[in-house]
Structure 1
């Protein structure tokens, strides 16, 4: 027999790691392969990554011929590498472009579990990992080919290193001391985060450092960060690409990325995403579900044990992040995602040894209120499969009924968990949520054809095309998913542009015309003396704009 492997203090056992990772995969993977390319950000990121493979240009970032200078290159490199390795090239399916986000999300779960176990023992680690794996925000970002899961993974790694530096001042590390918890690790992951989404990571770790130093009235942490070699390491990660893109396109990237994508969101609601303060605190109740059931207990534990350096660090991580993003004019639910691993750690610590904090008084009231909200959110989430199917098609299917049925079981499991706050009940809840996610994301969501307009157009366009590689043009429906699904050469235009392409290539061209452009298109067809035939129609919901659309596919009749 092999001898037992000794475990480090407060480390998870192999069986506990297996439990956390199995739940993470079961919660986060369903739908990765089945859900079509989503508008708008996912399709833009995936298409830009595809074009890197098509062109061989790994420096500049473009969506068709338009420069995409709003985010750095890190995510595009990872997506392009994933598509090349897993899919064999640029025409790989959307799932290959999602794989970096999925792996990053699983990494977030693992790091959250590891940190919680170090702070409060194995039970806390398992609980925190499960809470992070089940959170709606984690599930959405794991299934979406964009930056946010990758960014949070980099932030969490940097914060783990920063926590080690801040809470162990009696252990001199040196710049490279302490392994992945050293100052070198902090600055390395800071550089990686910059390469993924610019200075968002600087904001999160910077406010954590500032809050820690102010609260403790001590600047020792600043000294222990080794700024000169640290900044040099960050520059070594970031500078080569920044120099390369600047030499290639001039200052345009930095002007766009900093002037519009960052500073433009501070004072005003960018891209119609403005909201008043309180937005993120309200959405937390939804996007952290089902972990909201432990939110009151986690907050109570944080307050009562704030003298502990570990707990104080978590507070310095969470509170400034929320305050800053509540103050910024532009708001989206994922902006506060970087704070959620710390919240999951608090939830795990509470479940592992702090449930007595809510035995009476304000703690019990707060827990009951948050528990009631968690049950209401559970009911709302359970209703989504049937409600979405009825809203979009007016019918229900066995799959939607089954998904909502499992959702109602989750409601019961949530009530049981609230009645007995234990790890065993949490695991039972996790099993129910994973089955619900599997049915909803892998079966129900892909079947909602009216949402996936670009996919629905594929067979109609295939029937209309009389040439193998004829030009395809859209008039009035220009969502990025059309480019990812139908190819980089598709023209996104209007009625006039569609007429020009049909007139120039009447034998091969195909026009995809949205209803609002149809009258102008048909009038132009008559004026040009062309004759067209409708090859099919597709109707659906453009969820990016929140409006119903009807599309007709035309080709020129040449005989």
Structure 2
């Protein structure tokens, strides 16, 4: 029993389920959860996936990935509070799993388990995973992007680099330009501090940049029209 409780598989199954179950126990908070939940509801009911709206008025403060995902889940499971909170719960799961896999690969499985436990029981992380807004979705994609770029710097695997660009595009579509700036503000000092600045050109892969543009530009172009 003790060995089973210490297993990584149990940890990666238990923590997301724990977050998901606890996301059911309280009503929506104001202002953010009511606002963003209603924007997603409006998108779902109107079928207008281009422009986020609140009270029928365009709400262009942030890109629409949160509302796209929430609308998909409402299409699948109906309009419920727990459905709206699926996005932050899944974002938290993405961050937990990606950190676990990275730390297990580059340090050890035991340290990876401790990393997941510390993150999963952090009050700010826990609160964000139970709260409907763009922040944890953004943070999770930034985490994946940074870890992928670091892994590529170490391993030179092109597939992981393209995954990093995909995550960067998802971060951009979650909350705008900050999804690109923050990874750069993390990676550049790290590359300089570790004296790996010669690898910067390889990180700026033309195909990766093209992938990023192809992912973010259709919505930007359509909104501009």
What TM-score, normalized to structure 2?
0.90
Asked if residue 125 in structure 1 is aligned to residue 124 in structure 2, the reply is no
Describe the shift of the 1:214–1:142 C-alpha distance in structure 2 as closer, same or farther (beyond 3 A). Answer: same
Q: For 1:1-31, what per-residue CA distance to the aligned partner results, in whole angstroms no more than 9, with x for missing partners?
A: xxxxxxxxxxxx9972333124413542343
1:55 Cα offset (Å) = 1.2
Secondary structure of 2:132's counterpart equals: coil
Maintained 8 Å contact 2:20/2:86: no
Aligned to 2:124: 137
Where does structure 2 lack aligned partners over 5 or more consecutive residues?
Answer: none
Please say if 1:64 is aligned against 2:88.
Answer: no
- Is 1:75 the equivalent of 2:74? no
For residue 101 of structure 2, what is the aligned residue in structure 1?
Answer: 114
Q: Is this contact kept in 1: 2:165–2:211, CA < 8 A?
A: yes
**Change in 2 beyond 3 A, CA 1:203/1:82:** same
Residues 5, 11 of structure 2: 8 Å contact kept: no
SS of 1:155's equivalent in the other structure is: helix
1:53 & 1:21 partners in 2: Cα distance?
Answer: 31
Map of 1:223 onto structure 2 = 201
Deviations 1:495-543 (A, max 9, x none): xxxxxxxxxxxxxxxxxxxxxxxxxxxxxxxxxxxxxxxxxxxxxxxxx
Partner of 1:206: 184
Task: Give the one of 139, 142, 146 matched to 1:155.
Answer: 142
Please name the residue that 1:196 is paired with.
Answer: 174
Structure 1: segments with no counterpart, 5+ residues: 1-12, 248-559
Q: Does 1:48 align with 2:48?
A: no
- 1:225-278 Cα offsets, whole Å, 9 max, x none, are 14422221111111111111111xxxxxxxxxxxxxxxxxxxxxxxxxxxxxxx
Give the direction of change, closer, same or farther, for the CA distance of 1:218–1:157 in structure 2 (3 Å limit): closer
What SS is found at the alignment partner of 2:50? coil
Deviation at 1:217, TM superposition (A): 4.3
Greater fraction of residues in helix: 2
**Alignment pair present for 1:102 and 2:102:** no
Matches of 1:237 and 1:15, distance apart in 2: 40
* Secondary structure, counterpart of 2:7 in structure 1: helix
* d(CA) in 1 for partners of 2:5, 2:162: 28
Structure 1 Cα separation of the partners of residues 102 and 48 of structure 2 = 39
Higher deviation after alignment, 233-242 or 198-207: 198-207
Contact persistence 2:146–2:187 (CA under 8 A): no
When residues 62 and 166 of structure 1 are mapped into structure 2, their CA distance, relative to the original with a 3 A threshold, is: same
> Residue 97 of structure 1: CA displacement?
0.8
Cα RMSD (Å) of the superposition?
2.0
Q: What does residue 28 of structure 2 align with? A: 37
In the TM superposition, residue 32 of structure 1 has moved relative to its aligned partner by 1.6
Aligned residue number for residue 246 of structure 1: 224
Change (3 A) 1:216 1:34: closer
Q: State the distance in 2 between where 1:234 and 1:126 align.
A: 32
- Give the 4+ runs in structure 1 shifted more than 4 A: none
* Deviation, structure 1 residue 79: 0.6
Equivalence map 1:417-432=2 (5 Å): none
Q: Quick check: which has more Rg, 1 or 2? A: 1
| Alpha-carbon distance, 1:120 to partner | 2.1
SS of match in other structure, 1:33: coil
Higher relative contact order (CA 8 A, sep 6+): 2
1:138, distance to aligned residue in structure 2 (A): 1.6
Return the offset for 1:122.
1.3
Aligned residues: 222
TM-score (normalised: structure 1): 0.38
